Amino acid sequence: MIRVVLIDDQPLIRTGLRVLIADIPDMEVVGDAGNGADAVELVQRLRPDVTIMDIRMPGMNGIEATRRINADPESKTRVLVLTTFDDDEYVHGALRAGASGFLVKDMPLETILDGIRVVAAGDALIAPSVTRRLIEEFAARPEPAPARRTARGGITDREREVLTLVGHGLSNAEIAEKLSISVATAKAHVARLFTRLDARDRVHLVILAYEMGLVSPPR
């Protein structure tokens, strides 16, 4: 059972998601809040698997709340940001704060449910409509990357190929098909990239692919 916490300052959004999830057999809403400060307290108390996080909220925003949740060494909660298309600059900050996924509020509810499952399973995702502008924003204002992340000698040629495809947003199955390898092998390569590059999740690998110049921002 996937335990979910809903964080959004709009009661209608929280109610809609709560009603939707109530009918889903593999997940349940264990709490909700309307601001970042309450979100941090709720996550620390309930230890959910996934927190669906809004960004613009009164008081502490979703970026700071995400940062504090991820700073807790005992927290295994993964944050799925649910944002609007115009919130790209805030999403950029949330990405650096450790969010594991980004979806937009006008996506179908079934897509949001699938996103919860993906994030809960330890993977990460970015909504296609957000990806291009998010990466452009990131590439325009990159923070200095540690030497160990930019040193290409730290990974093999095959791992570099895999990282490039991850940077383009391909799943493990799509990577396997592209490189004519098994899905298990593709998954193993991605797992090694997590270790070699000290990446916290797949979204972080996407960032590193851009930092290393393996993928160019779309024009």
pLDDT, tens digit, 9 for 90 and up, residues 28-86: 999 999 999 999 999 999 999 999 999 889 999 999 999 999 999 888 899 999 877 55
Which pLDDT band holds residue 147 (cuts at 50, 70, 90)? very low
| CATH 3.40.50.1000, domain 2-139, yes or no | no
The verdict on pTM exceeding 0.75 is no
Share of the chain above pLDDT 70, in %: 82
pLDDT at 133 over 50: yes
Which pLDDT does position 144 carry in this prediction?
Answer: 43
Average pLDDT over residues 85-111: 77
Which tokens go with 196? 């070699």
Q: 103 and 81 in contact (C-beta within 8 Å)?
A: yes
The overall average pLDDT reported for the chain is: 83
Dihedral angle at the C-alpha atoms of 26, 183, 205, 95, nearest 10 degrees? -20
What HEC string does the chain produce?
A: CEEEEEECCCHHHHHHHHHHHHCCCCEEEEEEECCHHHHHHHHHHHCCCEEEECCCCCCCCHHHHHHHHHHCCCCCCEEEEEECHHHHHHHHHHHHHCCCEEEECCCCHHHHHHHHHHHHCCCCEECHHHHHHHHHHHHHCCCCCCHHHHCHHHCCHHHHHHHHHHHCCCCHHHHHHHHCCCHHHHHHHHHHHHHHCCCCCHHHHHHHHHHCCCCCCCC
Report the range out of 1-5, 108-112, 140-144 with the highest average pLDDT.
1-5
Backbone angles phi, psi at 101, to 5 degrees: -165, 160
Which pLDDT band holds residue 187 (cuts at 50, 70, 90)? confident
Delimit the domains of the chain by residue range: 2-139, 143-211
List of residues 6+ apart from 179 with CB closer than 8 A: 158, 161, 162, 165, 186
In one-letter notation, the amino acid at residue 110 is E
Strand partners, 125: 101
Which pLDDT band holds residue 107 (cuts at 50, 70, 90)? confident
pLDDT, tens digit, 9 for 90 and up, residues 153-177: 579 999 999 999 988 878 788 899 9
CATH code for the structural domain at 143-211: 1.10.10.10
pLDDT at 190 over 80: yes
